[in-house]
């Protein structure tokens, strides 16, 4: 297997060993601290990237101005991947990773939460002097020692979903009035920081099972126990300037949510991909540019293409099909669509790559793990 990266590289976040304004076509990584065939997930932030391997180890490269690489380093950038020392996680393997603009997080296999990077808005869940930037993974104890299930970062907030279906939001996420009637939202404190606690009003009727953060909004995938236990309901919180915080009850179960800064995607059980929110860069992939699209609109792809995964960057999107093809669309100023151009794309466009097994996005860049190219 081989790893390819393209798009913005001003902080060395493509792991190519150098910094550059852009890479408009996929570049193969010459080396790294991980084996490509062991990559389990890739997550990108504003200018940094984390890779999780199948051994539960985390690898990082790119922008490090706030310590978001977790390497306990003061270097501004790292242009090649380095493994985050396992002792920082007390030698416990990592189960999942997440990146925000200048912040990172991980959840261990025993459901312990670690965060690192910027704490300028108390988004690490701590309000104490000396914690404006945390340069190595820091364990965070949730109220009542609840176990963390998922973590998601926005520009200035961190949202954590617990095993008992509660959400804790650290940092700044403005909840618009009126708040969703399905949810009970209260304030609590954690390490002297103010924290929002979000849960269903009636857990016997509604259960929060997944979450995804945008720049200033949050989408919640819910299990609707009152109507047969389906996952058709999506609840939204936060800024709605571009319709990105509109909530819906879909006709079919939602398999997966993906969220960019100001746009969203829902992959349905029927393999339909529906997007809504801001569209000025064509980031909804619906074949035209517009200021916004308040209602979910279907992504325009060939009928014989089935989605394996959808990833959204800040203002662009990436689709990996079940047959290993990569399609991109949206904002392309830094070559983040990988089509050897910097013109924005309003429709999904095929990227020239070998068969891909896994992919990921950051704010303005993409990664893909592919089969070796025939010489």
* Alpha-carbon gap, residue 371 to 356, rounded angstroms: 6
Mean pLDDT of 180-206: 87
Residue 200 scores a pLDDT above 70: yes
- Average pLDDT over the chain reads 94
Q: Residue 182: inside a domain, yes or no?
A: yes
Q: In this predicted model, what pLDDT tens digit does every residue of 84-135 receive, in sequence order?
A: 999 999 999 999 999 999 999 999 999 999 999 999 999 988 877 778 899 9
Contacts of 251 (CB under 8 A, 6+ apart): 232
How distant, in Å, are the alpha carbons of 122, 296, 308, 335 from that of 325? 40, 24, 10, 18
Say what the pLDDT of residue 192 is.
79
Say what the pLDDT of residue 374 is.
63
Q: Residue 374: inside a domain, yes or no?
A: no
Residue identified by tokens 């261990």 is 108
Q: Residue 350: inside a domain, yes or no?
A: no
Q: Residue 206: inside a domain, yes or no?
A: yes
Q: Residue 42: inside a domain, yes or no?
A: no
* Alpha-carbon gap, residue 285 to 349, rounded angstroms: 9
Q: Are 307 and 267 in contact (CB under 8 A)?
A: yes
Mean pLDDT of 195-199: 93
Q: Residue 185: inside a domain, yes or no?
A: yes
Residue 112's nearest CA partner among 52, 155, 153, 160 is: 160
Count CB neighbours of 178 within 10 A. Answer: 6
Q: In this predicted model, what pLDDT tens digit does every residue of 293-329 receive, in sequence order?
A: 999 999 988 888 899 999 999 999 999 999 999 999 9
Gyration radius (Cα) of the chain, Å: 19
Q: Is the peptide bond before 296 cis (omega within 30 degrees of 0)?
A: no
pLDDT band, very low/low/confident/very high, at 375 (cuts 50, 70, 90): low
* Alpha-carbon gap, residue 324 to 358, rounded angstroms: 8
Q: In this predicted model, what pLDDT tens digit does every residue of 43-57 receive, in sequence order?
A: 999 999 999 999 999
87-96, 134-143, 220-229: which range is least confident on average?
Answer: 220-229
Residue 264 scores a pLDDT above 80: yes
Say what the pLDDT of residue 153 is.
96
* Alpha-carbon gap, residue 294 to 354, rounded angstroms: 36
Number of domains in the chain: 1
Say what the pLDDT of residue 82 is.
97
Contacts of 87 (CB under 8 A, 6+ apart): none
Q: Residue 3: inside a domain, yes or no?
A: no
Q: Are 364 and 342 in contact (CB under 8 A)?
A: no
Q: Determine the structural domain holding residue 155 and report its residue range.
A: 147-249
Q: In this predicted model, what pLDDT tens digit does every residue of 227-263 receive, in sequence order?
A: 778 999 999 999 999 999 999 999 999 999 999 999 9
Q: Is the peptide bond before 178 cis (omega within 30 degrees of 0)?
A: yes
Q: Residue 63: inside a domain, yes or no?
A: no
């Amino acid at each position: 297997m081989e790893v390819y990266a393209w798009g913005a590289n001003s902080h060395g976040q493509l792991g190519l060993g150098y910094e550059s304004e852009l890479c408009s076509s996929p570049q193969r990584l010459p080396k790294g601290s991980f084996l490509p065939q062991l990559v389990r997930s890739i997550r990108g932030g504003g200018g940094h990237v984390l890779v999780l391997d199948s051994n539960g180890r985390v690898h990082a490269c790119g922008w490090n101005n706030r310590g978001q690489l977790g390497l306990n380093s003061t270097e501004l950038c790292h242009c090649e991947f380095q493994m985050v020392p396992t002792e920082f996680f007390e030698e416990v393997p990592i189960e999942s990773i997440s990146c925000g603009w200048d912040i990172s997080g991980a959840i261990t296999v025993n459901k312990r939460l670690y965060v690192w990077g910027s704490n300028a808005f108390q988004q690490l869940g701590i309000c104490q002097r000396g914690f404006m930037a945390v340069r190595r993974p820091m364990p965070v104890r949730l109220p009542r020692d609840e176990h963390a299930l998922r973590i998601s970062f926005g520009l200035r907030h961190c949202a954590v979903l617990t095993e008992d279906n509660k959400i804790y939001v650290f940092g700044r996420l403005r909840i618009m009035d009126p708040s969703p009637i399905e949810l009970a939202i209260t304030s609590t404190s954690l390490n002297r920081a103010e924290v929002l606690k979000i849960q269903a009003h009636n857990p016997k009727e509604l259960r929060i099972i997944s979450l995804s953060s945008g720049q200033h909004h949050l989408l919640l995938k819910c299990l609707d126990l009152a109507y047969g236990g389906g996952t058709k309901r999506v609840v939204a919180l936060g800024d709605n300037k571009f319709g990105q915080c509109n909530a819906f009850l879909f006709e079919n179960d939602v398999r997966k949510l993906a969220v960019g800064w100001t746009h969203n995607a829902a992959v349905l059980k029927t393999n339909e991909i529906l997007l809504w929110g801001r569209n000025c860069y064509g980031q909804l992939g619906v074949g035209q540019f517009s200021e916004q699209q308040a209602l979910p609109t279907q992504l325009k792809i060939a009928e014989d293409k089935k989605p394996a995964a959808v990833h959204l960057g800040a203002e662009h999107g990436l689709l990996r099909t079940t047959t290993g093809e990569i399609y991109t669309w949206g904002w392309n100023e830094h070559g983040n669509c990988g089509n050897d151009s910097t013109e924005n794309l309003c429709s999904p466009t095929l990227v020239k790559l070998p068969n891909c097994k896994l992919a990921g996005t950051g704010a303005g860049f993409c990664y893909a793990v592919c089969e070796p190219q025939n010489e």
